[in-house]
Amino acid sequence: MIQHRIIYGLLLVTTITIMTSCNQPTNSNSTVGSEPVTPAKTFHWKMVTTWPPNFPVFQEGVMQFANDIETMSDGQLQIQVYAGGELVPALQTFDAVSQGTVQMGHGAAYYWAGKIPAAQFMSTVPFGMTAKGMNAWLYSGGGLELWREIYKPFNVIPFPAGNSGVQMGGWFKKKITTVADLKGLKMRIPGLGGKVLAKAGGTPILLAGGEVYTALERGAIDATEWVGPYHDQRLGLYQAAQYYYYPGWHEPGTTLELIVNTQAWESLPTDLQRIVEVTARSTNQWMFSQFEALNIKALKELTEQHHVKILPFPPEVLKELKRLTAATLAEEAQQDETFNQVYQAYQRFQTDYATWNAIADEAYAHALQP
């Protein structure tokens, strides 16, 4: 009997000990083996853009990009977005990221042509590739590797993050029937497109978006390009010029860019880097889709409500502009070796892509014609 009581007592003590151990509160600083469990680091980044505040699609897409990253990272990466001029001037976005003043930026690579002439191929060049071709080249044809190589000396890592699609050719106060009509024409058109216009005898003018309508209305310029029907309608350009030409030979598929400071990028853990990369791809697709959908509606309103004359450039004008583009690119290539290297790679892919596109999209579009 005594022996049974002793055994029962030992069992009771053992049970109480096990239960007490299991019910101990968890210590957040407890260890698993010899490795301490520490909370994940939270990153607070700044991002500047080249776009005005609340600029539809452009700035809107950047804001969505930042919100998506914060959601998917469960708040581990938080990005404060500043529009152009709010923290740094719009066209100092690249320098701010390069110098580490901010961790991220968004704009278009051709804005930095004065610093990196070859960067223009990473946004758009006259008679270049459309959004579909650019995406194929950048993501799967070696273009992104080239892009990162030419940006590397500037301490910046680029990502495709948006595309305007084929833009319109511009608003003109008079009809363009021959190449001679371009002589003496004062037109707001930047970059390589402006250099081509100059070769055709025109005068390219550089103006900020906020100055375009007034300059066109008052006759300071004879014509202007902007983006496409949606943004052109919002700017009211149909009130200042009668003729709206297509296609946008100078910007056939303008890729927008996300740029990240190299040291900032390397400070991120692998999972956050992947979130940024995938979100940039999502933004790239979203912006292009928005442009396409919004342009459909705006074009209809411009023609039906505002009675805008939508006209194609005459074939002989496009043929001459294409010839002058080839001459311009050849001259630029002679002046800058990096430009030449990227130009050769771009041209090879564009040629191969055109062969496929001719029996794919172009052939299908032709088959749909009545």
In a domain, 334, yes or no: no
Band of pLDDT at residue 209, cut at 50, 70 and 90:
confident
* 128-184 confidence digits (pLDDT tens): 999 999 999 999 999 999 999 999 999 999 999 999 999 999 999 999 999 999 999
Pairing type for strands 43-49 and 104-107 reads parallel
- Residue 33 clears pLDDT 50, i.e. is over it: no
- Average pLDDT, rounded, for the chain: 91
In a domain, 112, yes or no: yes
- Residue 30 clears pLDDT 70, i.e. is over it: no
- Mean pLDDT across 259-286: 98
* Cis amide bond preceding 247, omega within 30: yes
Tokens 């003018």 found at: 205
In a domain, 210, yes or no: no
In a domain, 265, yes or no: yes
Band of pLDDT at residue 37, cut at 50, 70 and 90:
low
Band of pLDDT at residue 35, cut at 50, 70 and 90:
low
- Mean pLDDT across 301-307: 96
In a domain, 287, yes or no: yes
Percent of the chain clearing pLDDT 70 (strictly above): 90
CATH number at residue 271: 3.40.190.170
* 317-333 confidence digits (pLDDT tens): 999 999 999 999 999 99
Band of pLDDT at residue 100, cut at 50, 70 and 90:
very high
- Mean pLDDT across 83-100: 96
* Counted domains in the chain: 1
For residue 55, the model assigns a pLDDT of 95
State the SS3 of the chain.
CHHHHHHHHHHHHHHHHHHHHHCCCCCCCCEECCEECCCCCCEEEEEEECCCCCCCCHHHHHHHHHHHHHHHCCCCEEEEEECCCCCCCHHHHHHHHHCCCCCEEEECHHHHCCCCHHHHHHCCCCCCCCHHHHHHHHHHCCHHHHHHHHHHHHCEEEEEEEECCCCCCEEECCCCCCHHHHCCCEEECCHHHHHHHHHCCCEEECCCHHHHHHHHHHCCCCEECCCCHHHHHHHCHHHCCCEEEECCCCCCCCEEEEEEEHHHHHHCCHHHHHHHHHHHHHHHHHHHHHHHHHHHHHHHHHHHCCCCEEEECCHHHHHHHHHHHHHHHHHHHHHCHHHHHHHHHHHHHHHHHHHHHHHCHHHHHHHHCC
For residue 247, the model assigns a pLDDT of 97
- Tell me how far CA of residue 52 lies from CA of 3, 60, 88, 89, 162, in angstroms: 88, 10, 12, 10, 16
In a domain, 261, yes or no: yes
**Dist. CA 177–CA 221, nearest whole Å:** 19
- Residue 121 clears pLDDT 90, i.e. is over it: yes
For residue 314, the model assigns a pLDDT of 98
- Residue 26 clears pLDDT 60, i.e. is over it: no
- Mean pLDDT across 229-241: 97
- Residue 43 clears pLDDT 60, i.e. is over it: yes
In a domain, 181, yes or no: no
Question: Residue 74 sits in which domain range?
Answer: 43-164+253-292
- Residue 17 clears pLDDT 90, i.e. is over it: no
Q: Is 158 within 8 Å of 147 (Cβ atoms)?
A: yes
Nearest Cα residue to 210 out of 53, 46, 15, 368: 53
- Residue 27 clears pLDDT 50, i.e. is over it: no
In a domain, 186, yes or no: no
Q: Please list the residues that pair with 257 across neighbouring strands.
A: 107, 160
- Mean pLDDT across 68-77: 98
- Residue 31 clears pLDDT 70, i.e. is over it: no
For residue 12, the model assigns a pLDDT of 39
Of 18-32, 176-190, 256-270, 321-335, the range with the lowest mean pLDDT is 18-32
- Tell me how far CA of residue 219 lies from CA of 140, 168, 205, 239, 359, in angstroms: 45, 21, 13, 13, 45
The predicted model scores a pTM of 0.88
Band of pLDDT at residue 303, cut at 50, 70 and 90:
very high
- Mean pLDDT across 58-70: 98
For residue 34, the model assigns a pLDDT of 53
